[in-house]
Structure 1
Amino acid sequence: MDNRKQKNNTVFYVSLIISIAIVLWGIVAKENFANFANSLLNFLTTNFGWAYLISMFLFVIFALILAFSKYGNIKLGPDDSKPEYSTASWFAMLFGAGMGIGLVFWGVAEPISHFVNPVGVEPGSIEAANFAMKSSFMHWGFHPWANYSIIGLALAYFQFRKNKPGLISSIFIPLLGEERVNGPIGKTIDILAVFATVAGVATSLGLGTLQINSGLSYLFNIPETTLVQVGIIVVITILFIWTAVSGIDKGIKILGDINLYLAFLLLGLVIILGPTLKIINSFTNGLGQYINDFIKDSLSIEAFGANNWLKSWRIFYWAWWIAWAPFVGTFIARISKGRTIREFIGGVIFAPALASIVWFSAFGTMGLNLIDKIGLEGLAVAAKAPETALFQVFNYYPLSTILSLVTVLLLSTFFITSANSATFVLGMLTSEGDLNPTNRRKILWGLVQSLLATSLLLAGGLEALQTASVAAAFPFIFVMLFAMVSVLKALKEEKIE
């Protein structure tokens, strides 16, 4: 026990020092940091784009095979365990942690971006619209959630069925043994997981703040200034630390439920007030194209030409989702005790992927439908400012103020659910994998995330941190590939009747 405690104190201190050092670099030598981060990411996406594509495709295949295999009925916990949370609350929490704020941020902006800058077809054409919807479905559909499920399933299995600590390194006990996992290899994996979580969430806090500010500016003429943005971060920080300290059963679960109701309310309003028939047709057509071209698009990379769009969109997204996998996977594992493997994969991959596809059908179609009103140039202007694109599009539809108000509320709740989930996970990862970390540890990580986000927002280094976190998460490709091997090895020892 002493070794384990020592190990995780090391993880706590080393990851804290690294996170602060990198942020100081981003503030003091902003341009140098941005150049380094961009060069590193460019090198990885150019030379290892194939690795990102193949890995993400394998995650989908592995999850599908496992769900329909003889292991599908195995419980993530003792055989007599029952789920701790209702299916609705479980889904609400995992969805909010997994990508909530991103859907609001990119729901309109991404399809418009692909529509005005498509690959291989004329911008603004019907073919460009089809390309835009299919690409958005691809980036927010089965792949990211399958990626989360790999870490989540492995952790839940070893935590609750094998009684191992709730650490990413615990996944490798069948491959490396307890002693090596408690040594430098395990420490390195856990430190990487903490950094990926801190950097990813700090970036999202900063980007979310910009969008909340633009919404408040649209609704109440509140100026888009640094002072207002710092104020937003302070208010949000108080709320997410309070809900994280309240624990999962009270704060995080209740907020997750509110979040889900608000999301469905906004989605319903958009479908009713927007071009309803076009939205339904866009969903149907896009889903057909997405499924039909799934394998081709999963592995599509130009061997003899440029891959600029692919690098800046798909491969970047795959790298971004992999960077988020340690945090989201750990949180999903924590709330999934008592589910079967089949139930887990269905709930973590298929339900949220379908919800994301419906979301992009509604919001994306709402944006593309404005081609006749504001033209391709108007849409291109909106696409260049993703934090304000949604509010600009709402302007052209009925009840725009109500839609914008619900959006700002939803942004705030998504913001808080991502941050409080991350705070909880960081507490776990730096407290021996404790499923209920101390409030002191959660408050500390909550403050660290917010201070990082504020510092980088003031210094203009948010995007550089995002780039750095995505590049730093590259080793997680291999962590997750070996996690699949480790889970299979452990499952083969199960006695299945």
Structure 2
Amino acid sequence: MSESQAYATSSTPSAVRRLGDPVVLGVSIGFILGFIALSLYDVNMVADGIAAGFAWTASTLGSYFQWLLLLTFLVAMGLVFSPAASAKVGNLDVPEMSTFKWLSIIMCTLLAGGGVFFAAGEPVYHFVVTPPAFDTEAGTAEAIAGALAQSFMHWGFLAWAVLGSLTAVVLAHAHYVRGLPLQPRTLLTPVLGERVMHGWFGGVVDGLCVIAVVAGTVGPIGFLATQVSFGLHELFGLPEGYGTQLVILIGLGAVYVSSAMTGVHRGIQWLSRFNVILALVIAAVIFLFGPTRFLVNAFTQGFGEYLNAFFPMATMTTQTAPAWWMQWWTVFFFAWFIGYGPLMAIFVARISRGRTIRQMILAVAVMAPIATTIWFTLLGGSGIHYQLTGAIDLTSALNDFQFDVATLTVAQALPGGSLMALAILVLTTIFVATTGDSMSYAISVVGAGHDAPNVFVRAFWGIAMALMAAILLYMGAGQISALQQFIVITAIPVSLVLLPSLWTGPQAAMAMAREQGIVADPRRT
């Protein structure tokens, strides 16, 4: 029996400790408890320390993060056009789930609450504060295309590609063919060998990736509570305070914990499908009854500018852009996506059985980004229209980074007014819930080492993230912001886990193609 086979045998559900790898649990839970304990001891010390690390990481490694995303997308696109991309994932001839269900889960899991949270405000921000890549006068008609293009850059092809293209290919081959577990450490086996799967080092790798996802998920959960609390106060006059936020967190946690406990084929799939249908309804209302002609023209110009200025925006540095702007926009978002990368790849590989490598990459790195740009145009483009015509004025709120105010203000200006605002709050809530359930599931998979983790372990991680958000909100929204800044720091070790996929991804695809007889094996000729 080979080493990989032996490890796979020892990693079956019956052989794994009930709660998962003790090293992974120790590192990840230790971080959660340590962060909360230090915050209780000295909030300012934690915030200042993270802010310093955030600034150093952004200025020192920002260009490295940018190149990682850019090269991931380019290599993935090259792989799409190769014969190896016809290989199927998971040794299945027929996909496990329908195309609509599959795409729904991908869209909801990867776009999540972050994209919905920023969709209304970010394009308007770049409209009132011209991005460094453009020289148009802020707040004018000429600034529309650049504002949308900059938003597309942050949430477009590069962001999605690093979340589940090359890395998903590596994991699919390692798991379904070689019998290795769906864990971040598996991404390093082609470079360091299967010995990394054993012992403390592999557990530390997995634990660091879990920490990045916890930091990246608790942030949206916490900010959702503040956003919904603000929205309910504005719409219905409910008290806007910690009590309301806590009730919202309890309700949100109950939804996504229940979904995670029922698994990929039940709760997660149902919630994602419902969310996509609701998003389509909202999108149709905005398009048909909103500023339709403006939105069509804005999308056409914005997407054209996105393609035209693609490389200048992707490779911009502090030599050509203000350091604060790079730190809080491009580098922050790119680091956030890097932090999610390994666990998102696990999720993509898990739900894509029966799909070809080409279908998987195109769905994640092309189709989903285009859908995202359309969504940003509908919400953010409408916001730009109302800002341009004077119907709303978000300049002051956005200069203070009050994106919850921006979302509700734009929503109320849309057709339907308060009803549309309520619908968008519900949509945002369910988007965050789909992130919570999928990441609770993925973290449990990492800890267990197999794709059928104990249902109570899934519940534990969901509850832990909601509880952490509640504690940090009690200390003040500033600690949620500090935790989100910490994402940039966690991207450093996680990026090293993703880096080898630039060459191991194509190698894994070629190996799958040879094994399935799609490409001739030179060793047999």
Per the TM superposition, whether the score is higher than 0.5 is yes
Q: Does the 8 Å CA contact 1:456/1:462 hold for their aligned counterparts?
A: yes
Q: Does the 8 Å CA contact 2:69/2:162 hold for their aligned counterparts?
A: yes
Matches within 5 A, 1:339-418: 339-374=355-390, 378-381=394-397, 384=400, 385-418=402-435
Q: Does the 8 Å CA contact 2:109/2:435 hold for their aligned counterparts?
A: yes
Give the aligned partner of residue 51 of structure 2. 38
Paired residue total: 495
Matches within 5 A, 1:95-114: 95-114=107-126
Give the aligned partner of residue 478 of structure 1. 496
SS in 2 for 1:478: helix
Deviation of 1:111 after TM superposition, in Å, equals: 0.9
* Equivalent of residue 447 in structure 2, options 411, 430, 438: 430
Task: Name the CA shift for 1:82/1:162 in 2 (closer, same or farther; >3 Å).
Answer: farther
Between 317-326 and 305-314, report the one with greater CA deviation: 305-314
1:33-89 Cα offsets, whole Å, 9 max, x none, are 1111111111111112211111111011011011111211111122x4321111111
* Equivalent of residue 236 in structure 1, options 252, 256, 261: 252
1:330-384 Cα offsets, whole Å, 9 max, x none, are 2222111121110101111111101111011111221111235538964333564
CA distance in 2, matches of 1:281, 1:209: 35
1:471 partner letter: I
Deviation of 1:489 after TM superposition, in Å, equals: 3.6
Between 91-100 and 373-382, report the one with greater CA deviation: 373-382
Q: Does the 8 Å CA contact 1:197/1:326 hold for their aligned counterparts?
A: no
Between 291-300 and 257-266, report the one with greater CA deviation: 291-300
SS in 2 for 1:300: coil
Task: Name the CA shift for 1:378/1:467 in 2 (closer, same or farther; >3 Å).
Answer: closer
Between 102-111 and 301-310, report the one with greater CA deviation: 301-310
Q: Does the 8 Å CA contact 2:383/2:410 hold for their aligned counterparts?
A: yes
2:139 counterpart of 1:121: no
Q: Does the 8 Å CA contact 2:170/2:508 hold for their aligned counterparts?
A: no
Task: Name the CA shift for 1:313/1:164 in 2 (closer, same or farther; >3 Å).
Answer: same
CA distance in 1, matches of 2:22, 2:220: 27
1:441 partner letter: V
1:409 partner letter: V
CA distance in 1, matches of 2:315, 2:265: 41
CA distance in 2, matches of 1:382, 1:465: 21
Matches within 5 A, 1:172-321: 172-303=188-319, 306-321=322-337
Task: Name the CA shift for 1:14/1:316 in 2 (closer, same or farther; >3 Å).
Answer: closer
1:188-226 Cα offsets, whole Å, 9 max, x none, are 210111111111111111011112222222322212110
SS in 1 for 2:89: coil
Task: Name the CA shift for 1:398/1:15 in 2 (closer, same or farther; >3 Å).
Answer: closer
Task: Name the CA shift for 1:372/1:478 in 2 (closer, same or farther; >3 Å).
Answer: closer
**TM-score normalised to the size of structure 1?**
0.95
Task: Name the CA shift for 1:410/1:396 in 2 (closer, same or farther; >3 Å).
Answer: closer
* Equivalent of residue 468 in structure 1, options 465, 486, 492: 486
Between 123-132 and 399-408, report the one with greater CA deviation: 123-132
1:118-177 Cα offsets, whole Å, 9 max, x none, are 134322123332221110111111011101123333222322233211111112222222
Q: Does the 8 Å CA contact 2:111/2:372 hold for their aligned counterparts?
A: no
2:25 counterpart of 1:12: yes
Q: Does the 8 Å CA contact 1:216/1:408 hold for their aligned counterparts?
A: no
SS in 2 for 1:310: helix
Gaps of 5+ in 1: none
CA distance in 2, matches of 1:458, 1:286: 40
CA distance in 2, matches of 1:23, 1:82: 46
CA distance in 2, matches of 1:250, 1:395: 34
Deviation of 1:249 after TM superposition, in Å, equals: 1.2
CA distance in 2, matches of 1:330, 1:217: 39
CA distance in 2, matches of 1:51, 1:293: 20
CA distance in 2, matches of 1:406, 1:377: 22
1:19 partner letter: I
Task: Name the CA shift for 1:13/1:401 in 2 (closer, same or farther; >3 Å).
Answer: same
Give the aligned partner of residue 140 of structure 1. 155
2:459 counterpart of 1:447: no
Between 165-174 and 421-430, report the one with greater CA deviation: 165-174
SS in 2 for 1:122: coil
1:103 partner letter: G
1:386-419 Cα offsets, whole Å, 9 max, x none, are 1121221233343112211211221221121111
CA distance in 2, matches of 1:107, 1:490: 35
Identical pairs, percent:
27
Task: Name the CA shift for 1:161/1:428 in 2 (closer, same or farther; >3 Å).
Answer: same
CA distance in 2, matches of 1:305, 1:402: 40
